[in-house]
């Protein structure tokens, strides 16, 4: 057996039990390790789905250009799909994202445009605005818009959710994921809750993001928005892919707690994962200490790989400069 192209290898990632970082926690805590996807992240799943759905709808024509705003991982998934299908790619990123992410995208043939992070979403300089403008200016182009494109959540409803259900033999009781575009948590939660409505869905947010307060109060509070360092989770907008009715609770995690936990996962569990993986595990375990019982099974999504962050959280000098490493 062989694959005709690398994108056919997406999915069916392993569940791995966490052993050291879960000390003192009742129940079983499992990590869904998404860096086993060929683009090393969970975003491969929805990137391919967005492209295939666009092709079916006639929105993406042969030889076209895919233009997207990304924190890096969706860009990688789109780039792999583009290579397989013969498209060009242009990715717009904020200057907060790691240099590794920019370099990886260029390595797979993409053009990368970098924008300032500390501007409002509607500012013409924001990466949201620049991506939209470039798509309008470029002939035969397609702007997937991962935030509001419901093919994002559909990909996880059709693949990630069923995988988790089957891998846990239906024994899952709690499930946790970082929330950025919202596609992963909403798609998986929808599928799992259809199998068992009692499954608890936990969204991990970051300080500087609007999600937690919006879930709890229904208020979009601009005072919640301020710069933060963690990449890949949290937002200063409300993407259409975030279905708040499917997320039972949100927990916020600091940049420091996320970074330190990410390094612990590498050293103590052998999981060389990305920064938002530390956010997901730290927040999920905070919930688990209070709520998990013997016999419960929690699954946490680990979205990406540590190679994206070699110059930041895996760099001792950078960590010391933040005051996060003695």
Report whether pLDDT(248) > 90.
yes
Residues 227 and 105 occupy one common structural domain: no
Q: What is the CATH number of the domain that holds 223?
A: 3.40.50.1100
Residues 187 and 317 occupy one common structural domain: yes
Q: Would you state the pLDDT for residue 122?
A: 85
**159 — pLDDT class (breaks 50, 70, 90):** very high
Residues 51 and 121 occupy one common structural domain: yes
Judge whether 171 counts as a catalytic residue. no
Report whether pLDDT(326) > 80.
no
Residues 194 and 112 occupy one common structural domain: no
CB count within 10 Å of CB 88 equals 17
Q: Would you state the pLDDT for residue 11?
A: 98
Residues 124 and 61 occupy one common structural domain: yes
Q: Contact 37/44 with Cβ under 8 angstroms? A: yes
Mean pLDDT of the chain: 96
- What are 116-135's pLDDT values in tens digits? 888 888 888 888 899 999 99
Please say which residue of 142, 166, 196 terminates a domain.
Answer: 142
Q: State the average pLDDT over residues 303-310.
A: 95
Question: What pTM value is reported for the model?
Answer: 0.95
Q: Contact 311/203 with Cβ under 8 angstroms? A: no
Please say which residue of 119, 142, 165 terminates a domain.
Answer: 142
- Taken as a whole, the chain contains a residue count of 326
Q: Would you state the pLDDT for residue 139?
A: 94
- What are 70-112's pLDDT values in tens digits? 988 999 999 999 999 999 999 999 888 888 999 999 999 999 9
Task: Tell whether 149 is covered by a domain.
Answer: no
**224 — pLDDT class (breaks 50, 70, 90):** very high
Which of the 8 DSSP states describes residue 158? I
Domain ranges, residue 89:
43-142
Task: Tell whether 196 is covered by a domain.
Answer: yes
* Identified catalytic residue from 32, 43, 190, 212: 43
Residues 318 and 185 occupy one common structural domain: yes
Q: Contact 309/273 with Cβ under 8 angstroms? A: no
**300 — pLDDT class (breaks 50, 70, 90):** very high
**317 — pLDDT class (breaks 50, 70, 90):** very high
Q: Which residues neighbour 107 within 8 Å (Cβ) at sequence distance 6 or greater?
A: none
Residues 197 and 282 occupy one common structural domain: yes
Q: Contact 272/149 with Cβ under 8 angstroms? A: no
Q: Would you state the pLDDT for residue 71?
A: 84
Q: Would you state the pLDDT for residue 5?
A: 95
Please say which residue of 76, 109, 142 terminates a domain.
Answer: 142
Residues 293 and 166 occupy one common structural domain: yes
Residues 29 and 169 occupy one common structural domain: yes
Rg (CA), the chain: 19
Residues 115 and 175 occupy one common structural domain: no
Report whether pLDDT(265) > 80.
yes
- What are 164-198's pLDDT values in tens digits? 999 999 999 999 999 999 999 999 999 999 999 99
**Structural domains of the chain, count:** 2
Residues 126 and 189 occupy one common structural domain: no
Helix ranges (H only) for the chain are 43-56, 73-85, 99-107, 127-137, 151-155, 161-167, 183-195, 211-217, 255-269, 275-291, 316-322
């Amino acid at each position: 057996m062989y694959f005709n192209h690398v994108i056919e290898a997406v999915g069916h990632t392993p569940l791995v039990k966490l052993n050291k970082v879960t000390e003192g926690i009742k129940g079983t805590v499992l990590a869904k390790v998404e860096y086993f996807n060929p683009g090393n992240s969970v975003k491969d799943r929805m990137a391919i789905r967005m492209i295939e759905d666009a092709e079916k709808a006639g929105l993406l024509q042969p030889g076209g250009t895919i233009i997207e705003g990304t924190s890096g991982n969706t860009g990688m998934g789109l780039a792999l799909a583009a290579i397989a299908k013969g498209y060009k790619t242009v990715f717009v990123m904020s200057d907060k994202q790691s240099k590794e992410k920019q370099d990886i995208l260029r390595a797979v043939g993409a053009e990368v445009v970098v924008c300032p992070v500390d501007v409002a979403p509607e500012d013409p300089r924001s990466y949201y605005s620049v991506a939209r403008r470039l798509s309008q200016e470029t002939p035969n182009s397609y702007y997937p818009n991962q935030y509001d494109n419901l093919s994002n959540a559909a990909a996880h409803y059709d693949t990630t959710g069923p995988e988790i259900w089957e891998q846990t033999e239906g024994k899952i009781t709690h499930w946790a994921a970082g929330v950025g575009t919202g596609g992963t948590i909403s798609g998986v939660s929808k599928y799992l809750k259809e199998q068992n409505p009692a499954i608890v869905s936990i969204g991990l947010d970051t300080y500087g993001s609007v999600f937690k307060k919006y879930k709890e109060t229904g208020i979009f509070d601009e005072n919640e928005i301020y710069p933060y360092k963690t990449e890949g989770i949290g937002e200063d907008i409300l993407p259409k892919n975030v279905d708040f009715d499917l997320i039972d609770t949100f927990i916020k995690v600091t940049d420091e707690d996320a970074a330190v936990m990410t390094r612990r996962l590498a050293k103590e569990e052998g999981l060389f994962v990305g920064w938002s993986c530390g956010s997901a595990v730290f927040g999920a375990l905070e919930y688990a200490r209070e709520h998990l019982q013997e016999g419960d099974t929690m699954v946490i999504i680990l979205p990406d790989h540590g190679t994206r962050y070699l110059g930041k959280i895996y760099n001792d000098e950078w960590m010391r400069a933040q005051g996060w490493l003695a």
